[in-house]
Amino acid sequence: MSRVTLSQWQMLAAVVDHGGFVRASEAVHKSPSTLNHAVHKLEEQLGVKVLEPVGRQVRLTEAGELLLRRARQLIESAEALEEVAESLAAGLEAEIVLAIDQLFPPDALAQALDAFSSRYPGVRVQLHETVLNGGIEMLYDGRADLVASGLAAQGFLGEPLVTVRFIAVAHPDHPLHRLGRPLDLRDLKQHRQLVVRDSAQRQSMDAGWLKAEQRWTLSHLDTSVDMLERGLGFAWVPETRIQPSLERGTLVPLPLSAGGIREVPMQLIYRDRDRAGPAAHAMADALSQAVASCCESVVDSTPSNE
């Protein structure tokens, strides 16, 4: 059995966070003498001095800093455990928030939402269509329950979801197609490239830009596809977004000597898998099943770049 209780660690943390026993007592609704006794008892049990006076306040000793840093992990784990229990006791979530990168196959997304709604019609869904770091930023901020992204999130473990194939395309009448030969990077740099803006607010990034002399930065993949079909530039676009355009011939793969096709593995990331309720888990299952179904049914009719 542990000699020091979780409550003692919590009271020590409160004293440190609030700069003294009096202020901490107001915050945690315990008397200063109760806090003082708890801390002194902790020091006696451990045989280590954790606080030292500095004027009218107190501060951690070097040993106290090390111990409290470890203790905070214990406190956070205990709080997380209680939240899991509360979630289980409360039952179903009222709402779940999704951050889905725009490169996610749209048919699979629609199928997943439909299947989820049939199972849990009373659960509200907030869908954020993100780009690049946008979903990861929402994850770090705790604003999304589930994130589907092609980028890794530091401190989180993702589950493989689907690999999205990007194809470099342009309208059949675009000047690049009129060259009638395999293309290289020098050819592309002479023409307008369409790229989609990172939806992150703090740490946005450029991905896929070739330093072309002209660049149009758009906010949504659908806008990019529309501009491409109007012959206003070239871009790498997820194959699932342009399959109808490829079949109609309104967009044609560029005959690049290399790099005409790129593959991006997407992963599904929980904000906190242990704390997630039944609705979040059901949505994750629906997304996984939908990509398995939709992506298997896609017929590869894209011409090679040979």
Look at residue 235 in the predicted model and tell me its pLDDT. Answer: 94
Residue pair 243/168 in contact (Cβ under 8 Å)? The answer is: no
Cite the beta strand spans of 171-243 per DSSP E: 192-196, 214-218, 235-238
Pair (154, 279) in one structural domain:
yes
**Region 7-27 average pLDDT:** 91
Whether residue 306 lies inside any domain: the answer is no
How do residues 147-174 score in pLDDT, each as one tens digit? 999 999 999 999 999 999 999 999 999 9
* Residue 212: pLDDT band with limits 50, 70, 90: low
Q: Tell me how far apart the alpha carbons of residues 142 and 102 are, in angstroms, rounded to a whole number.
A: 20
Whether residue 224 lies inside any domain: the answer is yes
Look at residue 306 in the predicted model and tell me its pLDDT. Answer: 41
Whether residue 122 lies inside any domain: the answer is yes
Cite the beta strand spans of 48-115 per DSSP E: 51-54, 57-60, 95-101
pTM for this entry: 0.69
Whether residue 305 has pLDDT greater than 50: no
Residue ranges making up the domain that contains 138? 95-161+268-297
Whether residue 257 lies inside any domain: the answer is yes
Look at residue 179 in the predicted model and tell me its pLDDT. Answer: 94
How do residues 111-155 score in pLDDT, each as one tens digit? 999 999 999 888 899 999 999 899 999 999 999 999 999 999 999
Q: Tell me how far apart the alpha carbons of residues 81 and 100 are, in angstroms, rounded to a whole number.
A: 28
Look at residue 122 in the predicted model and tell me its pLDDT. Answer: 83
Whether residue 305 lies inside any domain: the answer is no
The number of domains in the chain is 3
DSSP state letter for 146 = E
Pair (249, 273) in one structural domain:
no
> 74: exposed, middle or buried (C-beta count within 10 Å: 0-12, 13-18, 19+)?
middle
User: For residue 250, what is the domain's CATH number?
Assistant: 3.40.190.290
Q: Tell me how far apart the alpha carbons of residues 144 and 139 are, in angstroms, rounded to a whole number.
A: 5
Whether residue 254 lies inside any domain: the answer is yes
Whether residue 83 has pLDDT greater than 80: no
User: For residue 24, what is the domain's CATH number?
Assistant: 1.10.10.10
Pair (157, 273) in one structural domain:
yes
- Among 140-149, 215-224, 295-304, the range scoring the smallest mean pLDDT is 295-304
Pair (17, 85) in one structural domain:
yes
* Residue 303: pLDDT band with limits 50, 70, 90: very low
Pair (260, 168) in one structural domain:
yes
* Residue 81: pLDDT band with limits 50, 70, 90: confident
Residue pair 256/168 in contact (Cβ under 8 Å)? The answer is: yes
Look at residue 1 in the predicted model and tell me its pLDDT. Answer: 66
Query: Residue 26, CB half-sphere, CA atoms under 13 Å: how many?
Result: 6
Pair (156, 171) in one structural domain:
no
User: For residue 288, what is the domain's CATH number?
Assistant: 3.40.190.10
Q: Of all residues in the chain, what percent are helix, strand and coil, respectively (each to 5)?
A: 45, 20, 35
Chosen domain end from 34, 67, 90 = 90
Query: Residue 134, CB half-sphere, CA atoms under 13 Å: how many?
Result: 20
Query: Other CB atoms closer than 10 Å to residue 72's CB: what's the count?
Result: 16
Chosen domain end from 90, 113, 140 = 90
Pair (234, 284) in one structural domain:
no
| Residues in contact with 276: Cβ distance below 8 Å, sequence separation at least 6, in sequence order | 87, 145, 270, 284
Pair (147, 293) in one structural domain:
yes
Chosen domain end from 90, 109, 133 = 90
Q: Which residue has the tokens 């869904």?
A: 125
Whether residue 303 lies inside any domain: the answer is no
Question: Which backbone phi and psi does 136 adopt, to 5 degrees?
Answer: -65, -40
Pair (127, 152) in one structural domain:
yes
How do residues 24-80 score in pLDDT, each as one tens digit? 999 889 999 999 999 999 999 999 999 998 887 888 999 999 999 999 999 988 888
